[in-house]
A = this chain, B = another copy of it.
Amino acid sequence: MSSESIQPVPAAARGRGAAVFSPLYKQIKRLLLESLRRGEWKPATAIPSELELASRFQVSQGTVRKAIDELAAENLLVRRQGKGTYVATHHEPRSQYRFLRLLADDGAVPVAHSRFVDCRRVRAPAEIAARLGLKAGAGVVFVRRLLRFASAPVVLDEIWLPARMFRGLSYERLAAYTGPLYGLFESEFGVPMIRADERLRAVAADERSAELLQVQAGSPLLLVERVSYTYGDRPVEVRRGLCVTRGYYYHNMLT
């Protein structure tokens, strides 16, 4: 065990002297986050019980609880009464649909089937590299896929991934994998996606996209530009989705 988890700043030393003050539970939260980032606890496994963490960090159970509460609110941990607290995973329906915002007009969650059109290693275009925090021209894996809902093509995704983090990703591997893409990233490459940032626009379909999506060139399409992040705000994926919004809509709840 690393030293910081044994000496997480004595309770008596809080709030004095240090330029930056942070409550004990925030410090505990940071330690937990660090363990998650290091992969000390893998997705879908249970972390130590609250009492054990309390004794490890020499704080009360209530303080650990508050740290875990925040991580659970951020969907990094999942509490299960009577069982324990688990690291979030993309291998469950509940997590899968967190990042799929398209719904059918009647509000139903569409059943998606994906067909991979392309997968190759290329040099990152300047804009993609910038968003991924890479140097221009760095190696990336480029993936193009078509999502079908009820057999009709609805989403055309173009995806760029840092080659360094996704060594060995190939068309064959994608085609062989059944399940959500983020599940594959998590299990096969040890890159759990935890957050994403999206920019939505309306654009006109270009020739090639129109053909793949079976719409007329120039038809309005919803463009969803996504950057996904893993622990430590590290960008791991740039995705450009073109969506046909006839019969489907992008759902968003404002609270």
* A residues with CB within 8 A of B: 73-75, 98-99, 101, 194-204, 218-223, 225-226, 243, 245, 249-255
Contacts and interface: CB of A to CB of B under 8 A. Distances in A.
Contact of A200 (B204, B226, B245, B255): B245
Nearest to A245: B201
A254 B200 contact: no
Contacts of A75: 255
A196 to B, nearest CB: 4
10 closest A-B pairs by beta carbon, nearest first, are: A201-B245, A202-B202, A220-B220, A202-B220, A200-B250, A199-B249, A202-B222, A196-B254, A198-B252, A204-B220
A174 B64 CA distance: 51
Contacts of A203: 202, 220, 245
A238 to B, nearest CB: 14
Q: What number of copies of this chain does the assembly contain?
A: 2
A66 B187 CA distance: 37
Given A200-B250, A250-B200, A195 B255 contact: yes
A207 to B, nearest CB: 15
Given A221-B220, A252-B252, A245 B202 contact: yes
21 contacts: A73-B73, A75-B255, A195-B254, A195-B255, A197-B254, A199-B249, A199-B251, A200-B200, A200-B249, A200-B251, A200-B252, A201-B222, A201-B245, A202-B202, A202-B203, A202-B222, A202-B223, A204-B220, A218-B218, A220-B220, A222-B222
A226 B203 CA distance: 21
Nearest to A199: B249
Contacts of A219: 204
A21 to B, nearest CB: 13
Contacts of A255: 74-75, 194-195
Contact of A99 (B99, B220, B250, B254): B254
A47 to B, nearest CB: 19
A254 B193 CA distance: 11
A94 to B, nearest CB: 14
A197 B73 CA distance: 21
Contacts of A245: 200-203
A18 to B, nearest CB: 19
Nearest to A249: B199
A38 B26 CA distance: 37
